[in-house]
Chains A and B, each alone.
Chain A
Amino acid sequence: MSSRGEILDRIRSAVGGVATDKMRKANVERRLKRHPVGILPWTYKNNDQVITQFTVKAKKADSTVERCKSADVSKAIVRFLKKHNLPAACRIGADRKLKNLLKGQEAVLEITHGPNDGSQLTGVSCALGAAAETGTLFLVSGKDNPTTLNFLSENHIVVIHKKDILKHQEDLWVRLRRKYGAGKLPRTVNLITGPSRSADIEQTLILGAHGPQRLHIIVVMN
């Protein structure tokens, strides 16, 4: 018998046998269809609290966060690069929202397009959303925001609109289902909470392991 049949048979006979199959199948279908929400930590009184929680938690995870108007996003990027002594250049994908935000800034900021092949110092992405509970960004793969920008850039700047900051992870699952269809996801969904790090040497935390050393989040307020 194939490994597949062998494994499934062994499981089936241990968890109830064929007799219970019908009932168990119904249970599984029900759970997958309803995907019940479990326990959600923390309650929020208003949207301001959600943004505040996001900011506090993101900073706790060593991200830097700033709020600005949509017209000032490119200025914020330039300021960040200058502060860290980095060239005024960045790599972005094909995200239209992001392109619009950076339009007309070519004089102060050199923008190239496409995935990062390891030679680009700074990548800028647009997040699909964020979960305030832990200051976590949700990014999805595709030509708009190539995954390599999230990991091969030494400095990762993520732009997010304040209305996309939601309370819990579960709110993002709802959004993903609406956008991509039930039971479907983009190739990669990256939940990112802070810049990369390691504590493998004597349990000492060091920022900037294999991924970005800095994660800067720009929250667009209008």
Chain B
Amino acid sequence: MEIKSPQFKKNAKAALADEQLQKALSHVRSKFIEKRATAVRELDCFNELRDNAVAIKKHTIKHLDLYLERFEEKVLEQGGQVHWAATARDARGQVLDICRKIAAKTVTKGKSMISEEIGLNEFLEVNDVTPIETDLGEYIIQLRGEHPSHIIAPAVHLNMDQIREDFREHHTELPEDRSLEEPISLLQEARGILREKFLGADVGITGANFLIAETGTSVIVTNEGNGDLTQTLPRIHIVLASIEKVVPTLEDTSQILRVLARSATGQEMSVYTTLSSGPKRGDDPDGPDEFHVVLLDNGRSSMLGTEFEDMLRCIRCGACMNHCPVYHAVGGHAYGWVYPGPMGSVLSPSLAGIENTGHLPNASTFCGRCESVCPMRIPLPKMMRHWREREFELHLSPASQRRNLKLWAWFAKRPKYYRLFSRLSHLALKMLAGKSGRISFLPLAGGWTRFRDMPGPEPKTFMQAWQDRSTRDQPQ
């Protein structure tokens, strides 16, 4: 997938003017936040669970090599295969090789962000393997030739009438006069079409929410059941997982599961949590003949030991974007690559390079809501600040911004001038505010005051207030 993150400003502007998108985004603002809040309130120990989940991930990351080796050992023990992929290209190649060995024509797919990250669908298509997305949201956006705009609700940017049109356009084998008024009729239509695809596919590809080292197990967490049909019916099941998905034990998995669904959809538990350990066994009447795990690095191991290491705790629940005022305003596509929202603004530069993902660390108001709801307590704003520093060091930020920062630095190093300047601007703001105490037009900040008034300044500058206080507090 082509990276369009450097055009964030342009993308955001277009998103703000897009009426359909704005209508669709209103569902994110209301529903996700409310559902999570209720689920968290109803659990007596949510924060203790968060702390423990963080501790588990920290421990795992410190022993990541060893847990990965154990995971591999256990997968092999039960007849599965493990493929290590240092890069996206390696992973794509490994998946294609597996498909080619059985001359696979169609591949059904459960929801996987890793698949988006490595651009698997496009690659399979040019190599004559047809990928079929089976998660309802993913299926819809595949029909539209789009990419997910949210990591757990890929079609959240669409409204029902758009989906209805897509179905009429693509499902031409169905009667034209059929009713598609209700969401349920759309769902049933997709279910019917995909049922055939499930039963006819040669290979099924899923992602993984966890890899359990203790038992060599991959875990998917879903609601629709498409992931399970994807991995149970075809001859081959391929799991695409990144290396940081590993957890030590079954007990550790349960701890994290308790915060995952609650943070994501506000469910206490997703409908299906499926543990898969290897291929079909002797007395199995169903299940795949082959079980492959592709372990993807693609830049993650380079985050270890850096200020971005904490990001490897991310469990992809989507809470950060569900609570982000910037995401609410512009939606996921504006971010221009696979991972949107605050987690994407931190992760994308790590994986794709800050020089290719410019502006993402700036797509934040630093309100801190993302960090406050993150089940893994990832300090997202702090890490975005680190990226801004790197951006500055590498001379990637715009010239005007750099000039202004330099100007500010000049003043900051000369307190006398700094105070003089702040006194003057305080005075000027006071004059602009006038009797009303509000500023409706501010030179150089027209973009801000065009949509709202700026409050007038406090009666005194900080330094004045500080001095008054020091004199007052001194013993007489």
Q: Within residues 1 to 51 of chain A, which ones have a CB less than 8 A from any CB in chain B?
A: 2-4, 6-8, 10-12, 14-16, 24-25, 27-28, 31-32, 35-39, 41-42
Assess the A15–B257 pair: CB atoms within 8 A. no
Assess the B214–A32 pair: CB atoms within 8 A. yes
With A7-B243, A169-B254, A193-B270: A209-B84 Cβ-Cβ less than 8 Å: no
Assess the A28–B66 pair: CB atoms within 8 A. yes
Assess the A38–B255 pair: CB atoms within 8 A. yes
* A168 at interface by CB-CB < 8 Å: yes
Assess the A191–B27 pair: CB atoms within 8 A. no
* A199 at interface by CB-CB < 8 Å: yes
User: A137-163 CB contact bits vs B (8 Å, 1 = yes)?
Assistant: 000011100111011100000000000
Assess the B62–A61 pair: CB atoms within 8 A. no
Question: Which of B195, B214, B228, B301 interacts with A10 by CB under 8 Å?
Answer: B301
Assess the B90–A198 pair: CB atoms within 8 A. no
A139: min CB distance to chain B, Å? 10
CA distance A3 to B243 in the complex (A): 12
Chain A residues within 8 Å of B134, by CB: 210
* B323 at interface by CB-CB < 8 Å: no
Residue of B nearest to A6 (CB): B86
Chain A residues within 8 Å of B214, by CB: 32, 35, 183
* B357 at interface by CB-CB < 8 Å: no
* A125 at interface by CB-CB < 8 Å: no
Chain B residues within 8 Å of A199, by CB: 153, 223, 265
Assess the A41–B45 pair: CB atoms within 8 A. yes
CA distance A211 to B134 in the complex (A): 12
B473: min CB distance to chain A, Å? 46
Stretch of B10-18, B184-192, B403-411, B434-442 on the interface side: B184-192
Assess the B225–A209 pair: CB atoms within 8 A. yes
Chain B residues within 8 Å of A146, by CB: 284-286
Assess the A211–B183 pair: CB atoms within 8 A. no
Stretch of A74-82, A95-103, A200-208 on the interface side: A200-208
Question: Which of B156, B187, B252, B274 interacts with A189 by CB under 8 Å?
Answer: B274
B61: min CB distance to chain A, Å? 7
Chain B residues within 8 Å of A87, by CB: none
Residue of A nearest to B48 (CB): A39
* B287 at interface by CB-CB < 8 Å: yes
Assess the A209–B56 pair: CB atoms within 8 A. no
User: B27-47 CB contact bits vs A (8 Å, 1 = yes)?
Assistant: 110011000000000011100
Assess the B228–A151 pair: CB atoms within 8 A. yes
Q: Within residues 171 to 196 of chain B, which ones have a CB less than 8 A from any CB in chain A?
A: 183-184, 186-188, 191, 194-195
CA distance A6 to B278 in the complex (A): 25
Assess the B27–A143 pair: CB atoms within 8 A. no
Assess the A197–B224 pair: CB atoms within 8 A. yes
Residue of B nearest to A21 (CB): B66
A173: min CB distance to chain B, Å? 4
Q: How many residues of A contact B (CB 8 A)?
A: 79
* B215 at interface by CB-CB < 8 Å: yes
Question: Which of A12, A150, A152, A210 interacts with B224 by CB under 8 Å?
Answer: A210
Chain A residues within 8 Å of B276, by CB: 187-188
* B348 at interface by CB-CB < 8 Å: no
Assess the B232–A151 pair: CB atoms within 8 A. yes
A99: min CB distance to chain B, Å? 15
B96: min CB distance to chain A, Å? 15
User: B60-87 CB contact bits vs A (8 Å, 1 = yes)?
Assistant: 0111111111100010001000001111
CA distance A209 to B62 in the complex (A): 40
Pairs of residues from A and B, 7 with the lowest C-beta to C-beta distance, nearest first:
A211-B225, A14-B304, A200-B137, A209-B224, A4-B84, A191-B273, A14-B305
Residues in chain B within 8 A of chain A (CB atoms): 24, 27-28, 31-32, 43-45, 48-49, 52, 56, 59, 61-70, 74, 78, 84-87, 90, 134-137, 140, 153-156, 159-160, 163, 183-184, 186-188, 191, 194-195, 198-199, 213-215, 217, 223-226, 228-229, 232-233, 243, 248-252, 254-255, 257-258, 265, 267-281, 283-287, 295, 297, 301-302, 304-305
Residues in chain A within 8 A of chain B (CB atoms): 2-4, 6-8, 10-12, 14-16, 24-25, 27-28, 31-32, 35-39, 41-42, 57, 60-61, 93, 114-115, 117-118, 133-136, 141-143, 146-148, 150-152, 168-170, 173, 176, 183-204, 206, 208-212
